[in-house]
Every structure is written in C-alpha cells, then in structure tokens.
Amino acid sequence: MNMTFTARATSAARTAAAPIAPVAPSHAVLRPLGLDEVTIRGGFWGERQRVNGTATLAHIAGWLEREGWIANFDLAASGALPEGRRGREFSDSEVYKYLEAVAWEIGRLSAADDAAGAGAAGSADAIAGLDARFRAVVARVAAAQEPDGYLNTRFGRPGQEPRWENLESGHELYNLGHLFQAAVARVRTRPDADDGLIDIARRAADLVCEVFGDDGIQSMCGHAEIELGLVELSRVTGDERYLRQAQLFIERHGTGVLPDIEFGRSYYQDDIPVREADVLRGHAVRANYLAAGAVDLAVETRDTELLGALERQWTNTVARRTYVTGGQGSHHQDEAFGDDFELPSDRAYSETCAGVASIMFSWRMLLAEGESRYADLIERTLFNVVATSPSAEGTSFYYANTLHQRRPAEHASADEVSPRASSSLRAPWFEVSCCPPNVARTFASLAAYLATADAGGVQLHQYAPASIRTTLDGGGEIALEVETAYPAEGSVRVRVLTDAAVPWTLSLRVPAWAAGAQVAVRDAAGAVVPEASAALEPGYARVTRAFAAGERVELDLPIAPRFTSPDPRIDAVRGCLVVERGPEVFALESVDLAEAGITATNVADILLDAAVPPREADGRVLVAVRERHPGIGSWPYGDEVDAAQAEASVHEVALVPYHEWAQRGPSTMRVWLPA
C-alpha cells in the first residue's frame, strides 16, 4: 500500500482498510471505527468537542502566534535565525499538534455534515475557515524546511547548536514525531488535500532514516514520540523504511545510548530494553509515548514477545503506579513515575499529557488484544485527567493535576504566559505548553476512540450519544444510534437502524466498577427479548442476534455513588476513602463547606464519617463529615498531637466531580478523604 493508493481509495475500501482515526493498525483484534463512522452527538463529550472546536483551537492559534512559535518558521525561511527565535526547544511540536488537532476537527465537522446530509450542520464555513488556516500554517512550515528535508527552527543554523548533537534534550526527533502525526491526520481526513504536509513529513522522515538508520547515528531522541509517528507514517505511505526506523529507535532504548543524568537513564527509558522492562518508569509522557509506539511496532511486525512485554508493563503500571483518576506520574522534579505505590495526592504530577499518552498506549493495547480493562483505564483517564485539564470555557488548562490542594488554588492571569506549568493552576498558556494542544487533538479525534468492529460485530467501549455506521469485514452494513446521558445517568440505549441477514454481535463494555449491570434487548415493538437479557459482570456484554431495524439493546450501569479504598501500601492515602460515581472521581472543595453549615474553611479540617454511605440528592453527591479544629502546637509529633478530636455534629456536604474543581474561585480540595 502506498500513499497514493490510500488517498485514492474509495470510501468503502478506506473504511475497511484505513479508518479515519489516529491509529490504524494494518491488522489487529479490533478495527477502530473512524470519524466517518462514529459521530458524537452532544452529551458530556459532545459539549467538550464543541468548546474545543469553537474556542480552544482559536485560543491555541492565538497563543502560538502571540508567542512567536509559528513565526519561528518564518524566521527560519527568511534566514533570520537564530536572532528572534522564541520558545523552548520543543515549540515547533506545539505547532504540529495544533495542525493535527485542526485536521481532526475538519474531519469531525465534515463527518457530522455527511451524517446529517450536506450542509445540514451548517459547518461548511467553519470547515473552510479551519482548512484555510491549516493551509496557511503548513505553508509557513514548508518554507522553513531545508533542501535535505531537515526541519527544526532551533538547531543547525550558524549561531545555533548543530543538528543531532543534543539528542537527550534537544527534542529534534520528538518534534518530527508530532509533524508525522499531523501529516497522517491530514491524509486520513483529507486524502485529496494538496497542501503538501505529507510530503514535508516524508522528506523529514527520509532524512531521519538516512541519518539514524542501520548504518547511521546509533542513538535516539531523549523524548519518545517519533517512534509512533514513524509507524503511522509507514501505515499511510506503505513505506517500510519508516517502520524499520521506528524499530531501530525503539530497540535502542535501554542500551545506554544517552548519557547518565541526574534523574538516571530511566528518565528517558534508556535504562532497560523495552522488551525486558516490567513496568513503566521515568518521565511519564515519554514512557507512555514509547510504549504506544512499541505496541504499534509489535502489531505491525507480529512481535508477540514485544506485545507481551508491553502488556506486562501496562498491567504493573496500572496496578501499582496509577492514581485513582487514571493519572500517572508522581514526581514534579522529573515529571516521572515514582516507585510502586508511591502515589502522593498533594504532589501528584499527573500531567495532562501523560493522561493523553496513557490513553494512546491503552487504546493500542485494546485494539491489539480486545480486553475491556484497557477501555476501563481510557474511560477513567478521559473523565478524570483529560476532562479536568481545560476550564469549562476551553481557554485555560491544567498541566499538572493534583489530587489534593492544601492552599487555595491560584488563578492565573487570562492574559499572561504562566511560568508555572507544574503547579495547580489552570492557565491560558505556559512556557512549556504541550498540554493545551494535546487536549485539543484528543477531543477533536475522540469519536475514533468510542467503538471498534471485528468480523463478528461492533464493540462499544465508551458511552456518549452517538451515531455509528460501519461495514463489517464480512460485508454487512450496520447503523446504530446510541442514546445516553452518561455519566450523569447509567442508562445506555443502543438503537439498531439496520436489518441484518445474519447474526452479528453487539458488545457493550461493562466497566470494572459496574458489577450487577443489567442488559435488556427489546424488539422493534418494545417488548423485552428474554433470552438476550441478563445481569452482567464486568467485561463486555455481548448480544448476538440477527438484529432488525428498530430493535434496541439497553444497558443499565449502576452509578450510585460509592466509597473506594486504597491499597494499604499507598502510604499517602492510608486511612482515606474516595467517592466515585460511575466513571467519575469526586472531590471535596472548600467552597462547598459553608453551605453545609461547616465553620472550617480548609478541607484539612474535615473528617469523613465512613459509616454513612455517600448518597445522591437533587443531582448532587453528598457525604457525612465532621469538623475538627486541631490547633497549631509547637511540634507536630508526640502523644498530644492526636488530642485534636473531631466535633460530634455531623454535616452533609456536597462533593463535585473532580474534573469540575477550581471553577468557582480559589479553594482547597481533596479527593481522598480521611475517615
């Protein structure tokens, strides 16, 4: 398969062979349904997609211009560099991630238009505007590319550091990885586009293969990312050299090619070969990007040993090094995983980009192996990390996502770049601003993470109001309409719009927390079909049937609020409980204390009454708590420090979904409540 073939493929063939989606394995247990096959229609994620498309993308474009990160390409083209260059060594990548997000957004809007009938969604103007902006930025990037394919505004010119000599921290290859992902997104969503981004990417990739190939520099980038970009570039172009280069980079990890540094070689996963490691470690974004690329490689090369190593790493990382929110990364210092069970709430780094990267790793594992646990973690991370990052307006973002805010959270200026990416601060832009465009590209392509197909049917992994239309590998066309107010409600109704001649299987994920879920099948007249209806254990509820148009599958997930305990080895939250409701983690925010008649103004002074289960009333989740007022003694250790008893009276206080916190003024917050 080559690029031309892909680009000219008919719609049907393209659907089967290369979905309009960020990940398109040439073979896998599950085939992702792309943006032309799944359209989110409102609800929790639809609202976020709307805000992303109408506010966030323009916000990002504005800051990229304002900070000069796009203008760096202009300076490169005019030979003005290095003077005047602005931004860090990875600023080029933010431009590429923005391009990727815009490409997906164009695809998303176009698909919605297609699904609704031409022009019905009224988004033709929006699409045209985005496309013009996309082309304009691509033209500026193109002008900066050097004749041999090199593309980076920070290295290689007189007065700049030379090319490829600071691989451990220069991010040159990392930047290109994001370029490749942007080009792939463009080809998949606009195969007929003539903006040339794919050619820019190929020229850069060809140079990389030449410089870093079997006989080239035997090293790699300190920040993994190019690996998965190269595999996808190989997938859309059919050029096996890119896959080979990805393999070389992946297998150089763990051989000590990069220097030992303060954080150790684990920081960039150069401590242990990928196929030998047992758990993710080091910088959490790098670790997950590398793992994601390695799954891509394992799938393309049918390397079951490598895939097994990644499954093992995923399993151990989730069991020992992941926050209840799905967040990963316990260290601010090196943005890294901690040791097993080292999961401090107050110093949770849980970088938004690590959440995105974790989803990328899990999604690839899900496609490769088809197990619900991967989709479970994706759901948890989407609701409690990725959705937490942006404000409701989509114009400020958390970079780090703490689980415990001890002092009233700062609020950033809406008009200034924040130097404090790592603090508990939603800010419009950061000096290191990887997270906003990472959220944007995820939201714009989110429909591609909802559902998959295999020869036997369709699998729904994430629940949102959605239209799904696909053709099974066996040839049968299937159309579904998903109706749900999830996660506000636990009811998911899937209407089948197509008649099937032969039975096929509709699989609905039952999250691990949803033991006792119910599934019911109703015929077109609304009558329950008893033999297909049952109570369910977590995993997938599978209904196999020659569905007739008008039939419905109804899944009911028990989403009553619940207490959850931590493993006793997680020292940071010993003796605490967290409240969850469905896939959402809840938090206590100090702004809710007064309404409950509590005089304390800091969540530090609140004790949970664990004997009273959390309950729901008027759409709010309530828990019983007591106040305590320990004074400041002279020394916080000794026999007397326990004397600070809680008051007798119990108050019922409302919690908020964690992803909503810090949107009502400065507050203290905690997810884990001491019992």
> At residue 440, what is the residue type?
A
Shortest Å distance, C-beta 623 to a copy of itself = 17
Shortest Å distance, C-beta 338 to a copy of itself = 7
Q: Angle at Cα 76 formed by Cα 70 and Cα 81, nearest 5°? A: 110
Shortest Å distance, C-beta 18 to a copy of itself = 33
Nearer to a copy of itself, 281 or 545 (CB): 281
Q: Which residues pair with 674 in a beta bridge?
A: 576
> At residue 473, what is the residue type?
D
Where residue 543 falls (left for φ over 0; alpha for ψ -120 to 50; beta otherwise) is beta
Shortest Å distance, C-beta 315 to a copy of itself = 7
* DSSP letter (8 states) at residue 512: T
Nearer to a copy of itself, 370 or 630 (CB): 630
Is the distance from CB of 439 to CB of 396 less than 8 angstroms?
no
Residues binding a copy of itself (CB under 8 A): 260-264, 315-316, 318-320, 322, 324, 330-333, 338-342, 344-347, 373, 404, 406-407, 419-423, 431, 512-513, 564-576, 578, 604, 628, 630, 632-639, 641-642, 644, 672, 674
Nearer to a copy of itself, 53 or 344 (CB): 344
Shortest Å distance, C-beta 333 to a copy of itself = 4
Nearer to a copy of itself, 135 or 628 (CB): 628
CA atoms of 584 and 365, how far apart (whole Å): 23
CA atoms of 179 and 94, how far apart (whole Å): 10
* 636 upstream amide cis, omega within 30 of 0: no
Where residue 398 falls (left for φ over 0; alpha for ψ -120 to 50; beta otherwise) is beta
CA atoms within 13 A on the CB side of 557: 28
Residue with tokens 């040339």: 196
Shortest Å distance, C-beta 353 to a copy of itself = 17
Nearer to a copy of itself, 4 or 564 (CB): 564
Say which residues have a Cβ less than 8 Å from residue 551's Cβ, sequence separation at least 6: 495, 496, 521, 522, 523, 524, 529, 545
Shortest Å distance, C-beta 325 to a copy of itself = 10
Shortest Å distance, C-beta 89 to a copy of itself = 16
Nearer to a copy of itself, 479 or 512 (CB): 512
Nearer to a copy of itself, 300 or 580 (CB): 580
Other CB atoms closer than 10 Å to residue 344's CB: what's the count?
Answer: 18
Shortest Å distance, C-beta 444 to a copy of itself = 29
Q: Is the dihedral of CA 92, 206, 144, 166 positive or negative?
A: positive
Nearer to a copy of itself, 162 or 638 (CB): 638
CA atoms of 207 and 92, how far apart (whole Å): 18
Nearer to a copy of itself, 457 or 674 (CB): 674
Shortest Å distance, C-beta 579 to a copy of itself = 12
Shortest Å distance, C-beta 277 to a copy of itself = 15
Shortest Å distance, C-beta 318 to a copy of itself = 6
Q: Which residues pair with 653 in a beta bridge?
A: 623
CA atoms of 64 and 90, how far apart (whole Å): 13
Nearer to a copy of itself, 44 or 314 (CB): 314
For 97-145, the three-class secondary structure string (H helix, E strand, C coil) is HHHHHHHHHHHHHHHHHHHHCCCCCCCHHHHHHHHHHHHHHHHHHHHHC
Structure tokens at 575: 């003796």
Q: Which residues pair with 621 in a beta bridge?
A: 616, 655
Nearer to a copy of itself, 420 or 620 (CB): 420
Is the distance from CB of 464 to CB of 383 less than 8 angstroms?
no
Nearer to a copy of itself, 376 or 554 (CB): 376
CA atoms of 395 and 413, how far apart (whole Å): 11
> At residue 190, what is the residue type?
R
Structure tokens at 70: 């796009």
CA atoms of 421 and 399, how far apart (whole Å): 5
Shortest Å distance, C-beta 343 to a copy of itself = 8
Nearer to a copy of itself, 140 or 312 (CB): 312
Nearer to a copy of itself, 8 or 629 (CB): 629
Q: Which long-range contacts (CB under 8 A, 24 or more apart) does 313-320 make?
A: 313/277, 313/278, 313/279, 313/280, 314/280, 314/361, 314/362, 314/365, 314/374, 316/278, 316/279, 317/279, 317/280, 318/373, 318/377, 320/279
Shortest Å distance, C-beta 568 to a copy of itself = 6
CA atoms of 60 and 120, how far apart (whole Å): 28
